[in-house]
């Protein structure tokens, strides 16, 4: 039984990590990620999460922590700090990445949020510096848009490896 559970605990991590090259490429190339990609992640992870809560491997308060993080990101989306596909990827991460089987740590929404804030801050600094050096002023966008999937993916990778 334990081997089966150990295998199940890798499903959200692997499914989210598999999304990184797809969403980064789509965000970089087309500046848009089709919603069908998020349905794949959701369809894979919702039954898994339900089984984990039913078997009491995930406890109810972990769902509340993930839900609180999702509400915070929802507010940021409504304030237009996070948009569309970026919000969907962040939501999928905080809702489904509850446990890190690599480090045996729980509540991955917390370190992910810290890493995300750090990666976005670093990206904003370098983007502002790039624009300043190219005589556009110290602004934080590249012709109106910046592919946020890159810092989101970096934060997810850092969370998996370091948290």
pLDDT in tens, 16-33: 999 999 999 999 898 889
Domain boundaries, the chain: 2-162
Torsion 27-79-69-142 (CA) sign: positive
- The pLDDT, as a whole number, for residue 115 is 97
pLDDT per residue over 76-134, tens digit each?
A: 999 988 888 999 999 999 999 999 999 999 989 999 999 999 999 998 888 888 778 88
pLDDT of residue 43: 94
pLDDT of amino acid 145:
63
Q: Give residues with Cβ within 8 angstroms of 96, minimum separation 6.
A: 12, 15, 16, 41, 45, 48, 49
């Amino acid at each position: 039984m334990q081997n089966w559970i150990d295998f199940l605990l890798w499903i959200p991590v692997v499914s989210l990590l598999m999304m990184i090259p797809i969403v980064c490429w789509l965000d970089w190339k087309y500046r848009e990620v089709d919603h069908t990609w998020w349905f794949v992640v959701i369809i894979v992870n919702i039954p898994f999460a339900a089984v984990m809560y039913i078997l009491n491997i995930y406890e109810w308060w972990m769902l509340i922590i993930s839900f609180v993080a999702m509400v915070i990101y929802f507010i940021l989306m409504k304030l237009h700090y996070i948009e569309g596909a970026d919000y969907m990827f962040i939501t999928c991460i905080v809702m489904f990445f509850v446990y890190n089987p690599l480090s045996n740590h729980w509540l991955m929404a917390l370190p992910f949020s810290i890493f995300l804030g750090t990666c976005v801050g670093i990206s904003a600094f370098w983007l502002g510096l790039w624009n300043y050096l190219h005589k556009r002023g110290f602004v934080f966008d590249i012709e109106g848009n910046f592919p946020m999937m890159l810092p989101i993916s970096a934060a997810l990778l850092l969370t998996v490896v370091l948290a």
